[in-house]
Amino acid sequence: MSRRVGSIDRSYFDALYAADPDPWRFATSPYESEKYAASLAALPDATYQSGLEIGCSIGVFTSALATRCRSLLALDVAEQALAQACSHCKAAHVRFENRSVPDDWPEGVFDLIVLSEVLYYLDIPALSRVAGQVERSLLKGGAVLLVHYLGLTDYPLSGDEAANIFIRRLDYRILSQERTDAYRIDVLRK
């Protein structure tokens, strides 16, 4: 399978959600449910003051993550996905915004940043920019949760490439790393 050259843009995701409101079966897949449980279990702190979730999609994981954050900002590039996310997660302390990273990074600082199955959609220059934005936005002592699918795709980077490049770009302590046949979870502390 050949790889795409360059970061995948908004039109790719708009077309996916136009064809199927849940293209990855986030709401029904046993794989997704197990991965979400493992992701939450990997978080090093019981609660966070201010969380940032990049690529929230239809909000299934956002709903679970909201139980661990006093304030949560969830971003996605696809308007149709965000509309569903708003209906999945109606907690008052959760905000949803239509943004494309790295070009439209939000203001503010966070003690948790979640990048779950998003970094491999970026090319290396864009991924490096995201690492720089995380560096500026993450509070000292804050955590970064990385989750990446390990199967074959046509994305610009594999899950391992995306995670390894990101980890090398930041001088953060690796708190934990978990690997299954299907995905990997990395937790970093600033």
The pair of structure tokens assigned to 146 is: 């990385």
- Angle subtended by helix axes 159-169 and 124-137, to nearest 10: 50
CA proximity to 14, closest of 98, 135, 102, 117:
98
Question: Starting from the edge strand earliest in sequence, which strands make up the sheet with 72-76, in order?
Answer: 94-98, 72-76, 51-54, 110-116, 138-149, 183-189, 173-179
User: Could you tell me the residue ranges of all domains in the chain?
Assistant: 30-189
In this structure, the strands spanning 173-179 and 110-116 are unpaired
Neighbours of 153 (CB within 10 A): 15
pLDDT at res. 1:
74
30-189: CATH architecture? 3-Layer(aba) Sandwich (3.40)
pLDDT at res. 154:
93
pLDDT at res. 88:
84
Q: How far is CA 163 from the centre of its chain?
A: 12
Per-residue pLDDT of the chain (190 residues; tens, 9 = 90+): 789 999 999 999 999 999 999 998 989 999 999 999 999 999 999 999 999 999 999 999 999 999 999 999 999 999 999 999 999 888 999 999 999 999 999 999 999 999 999 999 999 999 999 999 999 999 999 999 999 999 999 999 999 999 999 999 998 999 999 999 999 999 999 9
Return d(Cα 152, Cα 157) in angstroms, integer. Answer: 10
pLDDT at res. 186:
98
Return d(Cα 8, Cα 14) in angstroms, integer. Answer: 11
Q: In sequence order, which ranges of 112-158 are alpha helices (DSSP H)?
A: 124-137
Q: How far is CA 173 from the centre of its chain?
A: 19
In this structure, the strands spanning 72-76 and 110-116 are unpaired
Enter the pTM of the model: 0.96
